[in-house]
Amino acid sequence: MKKAKKNYGRRSADAQDAKQTLQRKRPAGAEQLLLVLITLACLLPFLNKGYNVDDPLFIWTAKQICNHPLDFYGFTVNWYGTVSPMAEVTKNPPGVCYYLALAGALFGWSEYVLHSAMLIPSVVAVLGMFYLAQLLCSKPLLAALAGIVTPVFLVSATNVMCDITMLGLLVWAIFFWIRGIRTNRQRYFLFSALTITACSLTKYFGVALIPLLIAYALLQKRRLGLWMCYLLIPVTFLAGYQWMTHSFYGLGLLWDAALFASGFQSVGNQTFLSKGLITLAFTGGCLASVLFYTPLLWSRKGCLIGVALIILLLFALASVQKIGAVPTHDGDSVKWLFLLQAAVMIATGVSVITLALRDFLTFRNAESLLLLLWVAGTFIFAGFVNWVINARSILPMAPAAGILIMRRIDQHRNSGKRMNGLLWAAVPLIPSVCIATIISWSDYQWAGTSRAAAISITRSFENRKSTALWFAGHWGFQYYMEAGRGKAMDLADQAVMPGDIVIFPFNNTNIPINMSLFQQHSSLLQIYEVGPQQWLTTMHSLMGAGFYSHLVGPLPFVFGLKDPEKYYAFIVEQAYTIRYREQVQHNRSS
């Protein structure tokens, strides 16, 4: 028996020596290079994606910066149906716009140029996720990949908005801070403070890093220290930004964004429970990789509880009339496919929250508290602080989810078969990347319909130079219509003359016109149908998909047959003045 134990000990030592030999032979940076290559492989097919949703706001600001570098919001824009100062319209700081301005000034403003430029922030983000995961779990490559191959990361990385840049700065700020706390080297605190500043000036959510990192440091150090002084750097910069924007534009933009969010908490008159369920659905759908890791995360009993929760949710949701603004019934029939997707997403969202809570209850240390506060804080902000629930608000949770998955696997499958365990832990990444790519492709096609429709419409009426070409709706459609000869309608006070053409997109935003009243003065000229029928959509009110806003749909994406996008062209027959000031104000608050 002793000889057997001795041989077992020798085999264990030999296995450990073999592992160390493999690590020595592995080229330096091999995992990081693989991670970058996978990220680029996922994103390169989308370089020609049409500008979508809020992309135009960032591009217009970047063009303004090229002409007036310090007066970044010193122009007007028609975004809510009437012309307003850009400083009142946008609720994001201009950090990423300066980067886009550099890329646009050097290489032009085409989709290929700006999407290629945004590959760099994506790579910075994934490398930050890898190095942060190295500090918190034993499988940093898989942890980073589990956060990357999610619908929320890949779709966000194919836009030119500020979210991915903010995410990259966020994970690096946390990385530097943890290194500073562990080594007590002051340069890491300085790097973290500067990165927090850059993150906060890219998207205001970065301010949440300050209380998060204070909580981590206090639990780790058990006392205050010099590290607190470094956090005065971002506070000072943000105070200066508030003062500067107030002197430039008459309102401090940091405080204005906070007031804007708090002023919209009654949107849709949704209850606390309704918001909570929708936020869980967005969390589960956006972080779908957690669903595919379920068999490795939970015991058989835990998986059965999850299945029971899905069944319970399915019938509970079928008993209500609406989820958000979307009916759960189509006449007398229940929308079982839609409700099943909602139930699965909500259950997956519960799994994400449970992972963070279970990790904290298991380890009860500073790292587990950091991850719990990271996930819980993002969840609360996305569901109950931000003015709408959207996937972009869930995005900061992606790195934490990947790390929590691997920490749970480390705990749940602590065996000597490390290479087999590593390969087994990589298997769920295959369906994860497939579903995330399919969803990204659906969003890519939807963004392309706005560009294709605008080009087709402007070409159809290019010979009617004596009449105006008006349009309602915004997002990418506005960008491409204005690139032609289209003019955004001022719905507060817009005069249209006989012969004018007015375009109304069906699946768009800020179209508060009373169509029946408008049709008394015009007639339908043509309906443009753009794009193919799809079995998946990220934004459509009838389908219940609202990736960019839960006001459109309570789920981030929905599987189901969707018709091509429709654009209605009317020709004005009688002079008519559109005055919908009350409708515009109602539209901005509902």
The candidate with the shortest Cα–Cα distance to 499, out of 468, 520, 525, is 468
pLDDT tens per residue, range 402-434 = 999 999 998 876 544 444 466 788 899 999 999
Q: Looking at residue 261, what is its pLDDT?
A: 65
Averaged pLDDT of the chain = 87
pLDDT tens per residue, range 252-291 = 888 888 777 665 554 456 788 889 999 999 999 999 999 9
pLDDT tens per residue, range 119-140 = 999 999 999 999 999 999 989 9
Q: Which of 11-20, 62-71, 312-321 has the lowest mean pLDDT?
A: 11-20
The candidate with the shortest Cα–Cα distance to 347, out of 296, 300, 294, 408, is 294
Q: Looking at residue 23, what is its pLDDT?
A: 45
Beta strands in 130-222 (DSSP E): none
Q: Looking at residue 14, what is its pLDDT?
A: 41
Q: Say if residues 429 and 413 touch (Cβ distance below 8 Å).
A: no
Q: Looking at residue 514, what is its pLDDT?
A: 61
Q: Can you read off the two tokens belonging to residue 267?
A: 């949107």
Q: Strands 565-572 and 522-530, how do they pair?
A: antiparallel
200/172 Cα distance (integer angstroms): 13
Q: Strands 558-562 and 501-505, how do they pair?
A: unpaired
410/139 Cα distance (integer angstroms): 8
Q: Looking at residue 585, what is its pLDDT?
A: 44
Query: pLDDT-based confidence at 6, cuts 50/70/90?
Result: very low
CA atoms 370, 375, 379, 382: torsion sign:
positive
Whether 200 has a pLDDT exceeding 70, the answer reads yes
